[in-house]
């Protein structure tokens, strides 16, 4: 390279660094502080100058350059990210009494007369996680089910309110930030106008628009949408502590370039919380974004730690929801839906109406008692709301507008799906079809749940195929899935030989599972993924769960009297035993899960798995380690005790060697876990 070109390149390197720094600073002033220093035209001039330099010298392009927010090539599919610390839900309050009870319980638990709370609006968007390493954004993920979500890193990079590199100094080497991605009201209106002009889909509300935009496989589409993000907390970080108070953590996030709510406040006592709720409710319509309530969090981190968690929600936080928006419409009919458990639910078929930003055509009436209490009849004009801004329901009847000759509603005596007798147990509000798994509605839902991705994960068993298998009387319960053959499948509509063979392979693969997946797949009322995992870890084997009485079940963490009663009731039913027996005889199996004890040999040790093991899947290896008391992490750090190395190990092995972390090959690993 000639001396003149070297000088030119060195000047370009220096100028590009200056421009990136200036653009990052002005982005921070505009998006985080909402206090721009320069007009948009000047920002655009600086941006174009950087684009020109990077175009002339491509080596100057960096991953955290402001020019890289336009989005890269389309993805084929989203990867899955396992959250190292679960992204928990919040308990909801819908009344002043709920809020007072929350404050009372918190004060009693920490023995304090008053508590300071961090308060902020509850944005109506999509919860996401951002991972920064050495200040650089390396990963973005959706909340998903709280334990794992979708990898949306490329899409997250396109949002201007998400810094590609943290500002300043003092941030942890590894920092996971959590927040809400949303679409401002004005941006939503403009997007829908463009969609209508182009003949494309119109979004029902800003939340749906935000979720759909963030989960585009083509990042360029995400980049074209008016998405923003506000941060509300942190997950993982490597330092001993960021700050003593939650409000201080938020302030530090803002210093590092992350946007936080300008409406946040630190308040003392429940009366101040109520005043904040009223004040924010009064501003709701004038805010530039949709909110559906207020979030309160105990401000002191040490008090948060003392309060802890229950199930999937922290005891130190609460979402106080605003009253739902209400509209009036007419009841065209009252239908009855039969659920997976056989419960009959009356549903009002409505003249479509826009409520809270979404079109509502159906609203739940809950049960027959509720229909009679409200005296809802076909032809009535009713007030409809989206309870909790999610589930549409009928609030009341406008009796002054009731037409003549309306009839009182009664549930049918026979199931509308299978014609079996409808019964109602004493003390229960729900009436149920007595046919159990014989009822087509229940069978279809039971099979769908059993085959779902987080249960037995039978690929290819969708709604249409389930309908055929049940409607043609081929599958009576889930065990019949394992008796299907090629000829039977090929006789079905739209099922060729190749598809049938692939489906049989998927059914065969589902036989090898885990105990927690199997328990979840059974569809026991009140037993979700988390509870199924806890039951499997606690009891270790299916027979122990089936034989446990309510007292033994209530010794399991997070299993209370209601859940224990449901589990015992399920396993007391002879037909459930028969189905489980047929499933095991068909070859459904799982590895043994040793019960956890306080003397677990690997208690306190942290493992990382990399590569492919020949003798077991990664999930099985993880379950073995957890049963022995170990923690399984997704990334290698100085706190990692062992890295288990399988075939085709990736960068985690290199990092382990660089940090001096001990490694185990498959033989040593199997010996360690006694397998």
Q: Which helix (H) or strand (E) holds 631?
A: strand 631-633
pLDDT digit string, tens, across residues 612-654: 888 888 878 887 787 676 778 888 988 899 999 998 888 889 8
- Please say whether the beta carbons of 438 and 418 come within 8 A: yes
Sort strands 136-142 and 358-364 into parallel, antiparallel or unpaired. unpaired
Three-state secondary structure along 359-418?
EEEEEECCCHHHHHHHCCCCCCEEEEEEECCCEEEEEEECHHHCCCCCCCCCCCCECCCC
> Rounded to whole angstroms, how far apart are CA atoms 532 and 516?
5
Give the domain extent around 663: 606-673
- Domain limit, last residue, from 483, 510, 537: 510
Out of 11, 76, 122, 655, the active site residue is 122
- What does the pLDDT look like over 290-335, one tens digit per residue? 998 999 999 999 999 999 987 678 999 999 988 767 789 999 999 9
Examine residue 407 and state whether it is found in any structural domain, yes or no.
Answer: no
Question: Chain-wide mean pLDDT for the chain?
Answer: 86
Reply yes or no on whether the pLDDT at 449 is more than 50: yes
Q: Is residue 418 assigned to a domain?
A: no
470 and 563 housed in the same domain: no
**Pick from 509-523, 568-582, 588-602: least confident:** 588-602
Q: Does 413 qualify as catalytic in the annotation?
A: no
What three-state secondary structure class fits 208? helix
Is the distance from CB of 232 to CB of 295 less than 8 angstroms?
A: yes
With respect to residue 234, please indicate whether it lies within any of the assigned structural domains. Answer: yes
Separation of alpha carbons 671 and 675, rounded Å? 6
Write the CATH number for 359: 2.40.50.140
At 357 the pLDDT is 63
Q: Pick from 298, 321, 344: which residue ends a domain? A: 321
Give the mean model confidence (pLDDT) for residues 379-387: 85
Dump pLDDT digits (tens) for 465-519.
998 998 898 998 899 999 999 999 999 988 899 999 999 999 999 999 999 999 9
Q: Residue 157 falls within a domain, yes or no? A: yes
pLDDT confidence of 4, banded at 50, 70, 90?
very low
Q: Which pLDDT band, with edges at 50, 70 and 90, does 74 fall under?
A: low
Kindly state whether residues 546 and 660 are assigned to the same domain.
Answer: no
The answer as to whether 83 is a domain residue is no
Are 470 and 521 within one domain?
no
Query: What's the pLDDT score for residue 88?
Result: 83
Cβ atoms of 593 and 673 within 8 Å: the answer is no
pLDDT score for 152: 93
How much is the average pLDDT of 659-668?
92
* 207 and 335 part of one domain: no
Q: Are residues 506 and 472 in the same domain?
A: yes
**Six-digit token string for 6:** 């070297």
| CATH number, domain containing residue 480 | 1.10.150.20
**Higher-scoring residue by pLDDT: 409, 651:** 409
Residues 372 and 233 in one domain: no
Please say which residue of 279, 296, 321 terminates a domain.
321
Model pLDDT for residues 450-463, shown as the tens digit of each residue: 999 889 999 999 88
Beta bridge partners of 632: 607
Instruction: Quickly count: other Cβ atoms within 10 Å of residue 163's Cβ.
Output: 25
Structure confidence by residue, pLDDT tens digits, 240-270? 568 899 999 999 999 999 999 999 999 999 9
36-40, 179-183, 279-283: least confidently modelled range: 36-40
192 & 99 share domain: yes
Q: Which residue has the higher pLDDT, 358 or 484?
A: 484
Indicate whether 651 and 571 sit together in one domain.
no
Q: Are residues 10 and 57 in the same domain?
A: yes
Task: Quote the number of domains for the chain.
Answer: 6
More confident residue, 357 or 54: 54
Residue 33 resides in a domain: yes
Average pLDDT estimate for 413-438: 76
pTM of model > 0.75 = no
Residue 78 has pLDDT above 80, yes or no: yes
DSSP-based three-state secondary structure for 49: helix
CA 658 to chain centre: 35
Q: What is the helix (H) or strand (E) element at residue 443, kind and residue range?
A: helix 440-451
Q: For residue 272, which of 112, 467, 114, 52 has the smallest C-alpha distance?
A: 114
**Do both 565 and 503 map to the same domain?**
no
Give me the pLDDT at residue 3, please. 46
- The residue ranking higher by pLDDT, 509 or 389, is 509
Of 6-10, 43-47, 147-151, the least confident: 6-10
Residues 154 and 206 in one domain: yes
Calculate the alpha carbon distances from 80 to 141, 152, 180, 223 in Å: 8, 9, 19, 21
Q: Residue 40: which pLDDT band, with cuts at 50, 70 and 90?
A: low
3-state secondary structure of 543: helix
Total length of the chain: 675
Lowest mean pLDDT among 120-124, 222-226, 304-308, 602-606: 602-606
What pLDDT does 458 receive?
94
Indicate whether 576 and 612 sit together in one domain. Answer: no
Q: What is the CATH number of the domain that holds 262?
A: 3.30.470.30
CB-CB contact of 334 with 379 (8 Å): no
Helical residues (DSSP H) of 295-387, grouped into ranges? 301-307, 368-374
**Tens of pLDDT along 109-166?**
999 999 999 999 999 889 999 999 999 999 999 988 788 889 999 999 999 999 999 9
Residue 433: pLDDT band by 50, 70, 90 thresholds?
confident
Q: Is residue 76 part of a domain?
A: no
Q: Does residue 653 lie within any of the structural domains? A: yes
Kindly give, in sequence order, each residue whose CB lies less than 8 Å from that of residue 581, ignoring residues fewer than 6 positions away: none
Find residue 344's DSSP bridge partners. Answer: 338
Considering only residues 36 and 605, tell me which one the structure prediction assigns the higher pLDDT: 605
Q: Is the pLDDT of residue 52 over 80?
A: yes
CATH of the domain at 40: 1.10.287.610
């Amino acid at each position: 390279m000639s001396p003149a070109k070297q000088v030119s390149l060195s000047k370009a390197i220096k100028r590009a660094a200056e421009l990136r720094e200036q653009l990052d600073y002005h982005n921070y002033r505009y998006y985080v502080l909402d206090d721009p220093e320069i007009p948009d035209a000047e920002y655009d001039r600086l941006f174009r100058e950087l684009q020109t330099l990077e175009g002339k010298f491509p080596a100057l392009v960096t991953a955290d350059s402001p020019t890289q927010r336009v989005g890269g090539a389309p993805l084929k599919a989203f990867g899955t990210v396992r959250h190292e610390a679960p992204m928990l839900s919040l308990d909801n309050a819908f009344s002043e009494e709920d809020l007072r009870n929350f404050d009372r319980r918190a004060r009693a638990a920490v023995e304090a007369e008053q508590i300071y709370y961090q308060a902020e609006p509850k944005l109506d968007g999509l919860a996401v996680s951002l991972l920064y390493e050495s200040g650089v954004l390396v990963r973005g993920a959706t909340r998903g089910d709280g334990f794992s979500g979708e990898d949306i890193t490329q899409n997250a990079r396109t949002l201007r309110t998400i810094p590609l590199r943290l500002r300043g100094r003092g941030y942890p080497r590894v920092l996971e930030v959590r927040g809400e991605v949303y679409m401002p009201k004005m941006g939503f209106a403009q997007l829908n106008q463009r969609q209508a002009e182009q003949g494309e889909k119109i979004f029902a509300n800003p939340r749906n628009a935000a979720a759909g935009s963030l989960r585009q496989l083509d990042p360029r589409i995400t980049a074209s949408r008016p998405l923003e993000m506000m941060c509300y907390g942190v997950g993982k970080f490597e330092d001993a502590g960021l700050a003593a108070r939650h409000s201080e953590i938020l302030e530090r996030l803002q210093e590092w370039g992350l946007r936080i709510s300008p409406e946040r406040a630190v308040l003392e006592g429940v009366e101040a919380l109520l005043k904040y709720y009223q004040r924010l409710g009064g501003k709701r319509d004038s805010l530039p974004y949709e909110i559906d309530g207020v979030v309160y969090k105990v401000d002191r981190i040490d008090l948060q730690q003392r309060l802890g968690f229950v199930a999937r929600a922290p005891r130190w936080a609460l979402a106080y929801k605003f009253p739902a928006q209400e509209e009036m419409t007419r009841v065209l009919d009252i239908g009855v839906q039969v659920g997976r458990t056989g419960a009959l639910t009356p549903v009002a078929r409505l003249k479509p109406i826009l409520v809270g930003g979404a079109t509502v055509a159906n609203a739940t009436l809950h049960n027959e008692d509720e229909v009679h209490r409200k005296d809802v009849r076909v032809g009535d004009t009713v007030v409809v709301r989206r309870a909790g801004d999610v589930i549409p329901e009928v609030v009341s009847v406008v009796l002054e507008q009731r037409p003549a000759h309306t009839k009182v509603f009664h549930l049918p005596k026979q199931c509308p799906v299978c014609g079996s007798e409808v019964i109602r147990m004493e003390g229960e509000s729900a009436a149920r079809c007595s046919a159990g798994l014989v009822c087509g509605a229940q069978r279809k839902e039971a099979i769908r749940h059993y085959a779902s991705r987080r249960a037995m994960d039978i690929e290819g068993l969708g709604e249409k195929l389930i309908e055929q298998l049940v409607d043609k009387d081929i599958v009576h319960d889930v065990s019949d899935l394992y008796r299907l053959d090629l000829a039977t499948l090929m006789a079905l509509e739209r099922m060729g030989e190749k598809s049938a063979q692939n489906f049989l392979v998927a059914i065969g693969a589902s036989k090898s599972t885990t105990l927690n997946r199997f328990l979840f797949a059974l569809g026991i009322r009140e037993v979700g993924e988390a509870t199924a995992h806890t039951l499997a870890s606690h009891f270790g084997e299916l027979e122990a769960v089936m034989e446990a009485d309510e007292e033994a079940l209530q010794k399991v963490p997070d299993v209370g009297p209601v859940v224990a009663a449901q589990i015992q009731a399920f396993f007391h039913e002879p037909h459930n035993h028969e189905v489980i027996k047929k499933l095991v005889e068909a070859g459904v199996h799982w590895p043994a899960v040793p019960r956890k004890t306080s003397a677990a040999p690997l208690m306190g040790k942290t493992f990382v798995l990399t590569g492919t093991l020949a003798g077991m899947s990664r999930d099985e290896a993880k379950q073995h380690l957890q049963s022995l008391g170990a923690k399984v992490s997704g990334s290698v750090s100085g706190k990692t005790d062992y890295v288990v190395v399988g075939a085709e190990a990736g960068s985690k092995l290199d990092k382990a060697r660089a940090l001096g972390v001990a490694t185990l090959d498959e033989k040593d690993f199997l010996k360690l876990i006694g397998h």
